[in-house]
């Protein structure tokens, strides 16, 4: 029986082409209306010169940052997504699993002013990865995480644990994907253990929605 982490990575391999189509067509309303702009504004507010996009996917954020004169590097665990990012013009992007990043088996660079993880921290053990990312930052560098808002997606079960995304309502053929739900306190504890200090917390919201569209955390390396 494969682990949830292995199934998670495999689902990205299978769903990659469908995901590229969804992102580039703007089919996810919450991203189009709220969360894409939220992560971009949070990054630009720090005025970084060098950014690492952790879990960059097909590279939309890399391209957006490059258009604004920022030296953006991307890394993702799926080859199809990385190749799509390169084909769209992002040269500094490479394939690496989170385990390879933790073990420093892949060199993605260092001395970044900012590292962002935009809906890309979906596995259970994130502390080792966050610690490894901390080591790639300049002193006082920042980590920005945008993720599903725990309160909005808890569905009456507010405790850490594996959940499943079925991609219901998405066009195309999708393999269900496991992802790890964590409470707000779990997120904050992980940041603290990894050597970060939370300096900002946002709950991006659509004006016509009663629930936040995401949780956005800004932390600085201690």
Question: Which candidate, 190, 176, 189, places its Cα nearest to that of 7?
Answer: 176
Average pLDDT taken over every residue of the chain: 96
Please give the structure tokens belonging to residue 172.
Answer: 């195309």
pLDDT digits (tens, 9 = 90+) for 175-213: 999 999 999 999 999 999 999 999 999 999 988 888 999
Nearest to 122 by CA among 165, 167, 81, 78: 165
Q: Where do the H-state alpha helices sit in the chain?
A: 4-25, 29-30, 36-44, 60-67, 79-87, 98-102, 127-134, 150-153, 184-193
What is the average per-residue pLDDT within 40-67? 98
Q: Which residue has the tokens 């495999």?
A: 10
Report residue 14: phi and psi, to 5°.
-75, -40
Name the superfamily (CATH) of residues 4-221.
Vaccinia Virus protein VP39 (3.40.50.150)
pLDDT tens track for 17-33: 999 999 999 999 899 99
Domain locations in the chain as residue ranges: 4-221
Closest CA to 131 of 155, 108, 101, 106: 101
């Amino acid at each position: 029986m494969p682990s949830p982490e292995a199934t998670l990575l495999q689902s990205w391999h299978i769903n990659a082409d469908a995901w590229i189509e969804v992102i580039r067509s703007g089919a996810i309303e919450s991203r189009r209306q709220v969360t894409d702009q939220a992560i971009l504004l949070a990054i630009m507010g720090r005025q970084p010169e060098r950014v690492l996009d952790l879990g960059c996917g097909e590279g939309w954020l890399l391209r957006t940052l490059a258009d604004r004169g920022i030296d953006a590097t991307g890394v993702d665990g799926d080859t199809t997504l990385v190749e799509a990012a390169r084909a769209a013009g992002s040269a500094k992007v490479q394939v690496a699993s989170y385990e390879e990043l933790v073990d420093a088996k892949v060199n993605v660079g260092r001395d970044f002013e900012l590292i962002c993880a935009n809906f890309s921290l979906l596995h259970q053990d994130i502390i080792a990865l966050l610690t490894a990312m901390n080591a790639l930052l300049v002193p006082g560098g920042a980590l920005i995480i945008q993720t599903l808002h725990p309160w909005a997606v808890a569905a009456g079960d507010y405790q850490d644990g594996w959940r499943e995304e079925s991609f219901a309502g998405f066009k195309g053929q999708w393999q269900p994907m496991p992802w790890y739900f964590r409470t707000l306190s779990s997120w904050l504890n992980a940041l603290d253990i990894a050597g970060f200090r939370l300096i900002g917390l946002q709950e991006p919201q659509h004006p016509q929605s009663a629930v936040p569209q995401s949780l956005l955390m800004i932390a600085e390396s201690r």
